[in-house]
Amino acid sequence: MAEQEIVPYSLSEHPDPHRHAVSNTALLACLFVPPVMWAGNLIIDYALVGHSCYPGEVPLTRPTAGFVWPLIFAFHLLALLVIAASFLLALRNWRVTGPPMGHAHQLMHRGEGRSRYFGIVAMGWAAVLFVVVATQTVAFYWVPLCER
């Protein structure tokens, strides 16, 4: 290694030059809100459908309460809206951090652009979980809530 390639620690740049463009709260919210909404949606579905279809010792053919399907649908829509908002926030975070400078190999070697990386990972999480929740929502129309 040549002498000019060695940079003292005090003169080196931070590995994420755009770290102040996006708050840590926004980065973490984009990463964790979609999975939490999906898991919460599953828990609510299980509780509502399970109790309305199997309130006692004998399973029912139809839900006992008439509000079960509208309530489940409302929770699904809420989850879809929050996941879509998380995707848009992640997209904003990704754009605000700007295109990384330099060659891709150099960026990987130096580790620049962690905020930008979190943005793209959060967009992927949100897109996948949006499709999962949307598929679950459509499945409630095709599959009866209570089935013996």
pLDDT digits (tens, 9 = 90+) for 104-141: 555 444 445 677 788 889 999 999 999 999 999 998 87
User: In the structure, what pLDDT confidence band is assigned to residue 70 with cuts at 50, 70 and 90?
Assistant: confident
DSSP one-letter code for 85: H
Report, as an integer, the average pLDDT of 77-90: 96
Question: Are 129 and 34 a contacting pair, CB within 8 Å?
Answer: yes
pTM: 0.76
For the stretch 12-69, pLDDT in tens is: 555 555 566 788 888 889 899 999 999 999 999 888 888 888 877 887 777 776 788 8
Token match 């620049």: residue? 112
Mean predicted lDDT score pLDDT of the chain: 80
CA distance 136 to 35: 15
CA distance 145 to 75: 15
Question: Which residues are CB-neighbours of 135 under 8 A, at least 6 positions away?
Answer: none
Question: Are 120 and 113 a contacting pair, CB within 8 Å?
Answer: no
